Copies of this chain bind each other. A is one copy, B any other.
Amino acid sequence: MHCKPNNLGIIERKEREKAEMRRRIVDAAVEMIVEEGYEKVSIRNIADKIEYSPATIYLYYKDKDELLYDVQSQAFATLAEEFREKINAEDPFKRLEQLAVAYLEFSRQHPELYDLMFIIKAPMNTLVEKEKWENGDPSYDALHGLMQECIEKKVVKFKDATIATLSVWGFAHGLISLHLRGRCTKVSRVPEEDVPRVIATAIDEYLEMIKA
């Protein structure tokens, strides 16, 4: 039979401890993904790192995908921080340029996190039992709001904010992910070491092109 503890302080502490444990697990996973790469992140390795048995992790996450969803959430938090720091112009178009630079820089500084956020399938499997992608939504909404403002002030050529948002995001993501997954490498006429600069230039040119 279910027996609730009388003392409410204890049940609160239990919840706090549960949250702390989840945090320990996610922190360990983030650290591993950043320092050793996504492929090294296994349930057993995480368990070793936090000094628990692998089975224990399944008391806090129903599967690895759900754990990775929380890691992704953490990654989006650091991206949001970057955005807050680096997007501060008055002019909406200038803010769009700042956003593009910050996004590109983030992908360079945290390629493995970028992968988890925008490429790897696993964390999105948990979305089937959610109605929204809470992790990505704030960033998407930020860009959407910015594009809407750009459209209203007629500083871009777009008419529809959704198409504008997906276009800008897609353009940057396309180049970044092709590079990240090695598709720009060893292709004719693109010297390996030039790729990053070409990507930056392409994004610059694109932003010039959509300018009204």
Contact = CB atoms under 8 A, between A and B. Distances in A.
Contact of A187 (B133, B177, B178, B199): B133
Given A163-B201, A163-B202, A174-B173, A118 B189 contact: no
A: interface residue count bin: 35 or more
Contacts of A137: 187-188
B120 A181 contact: yes
A186 B121 contact: no
Interface of A: 118-121, 124, 127, 130-133, 136-137, 140-141, 144, 157-158, 161-163, 166-167, 169-175, 177-178, 181-190, 198-199, 201-202, 205-206, 209-210
Q: Which 5 A-B pairs have the closest CB atoms?
A: A174-B174, A170-B174, A170-B175, A124-B182, A173-B174
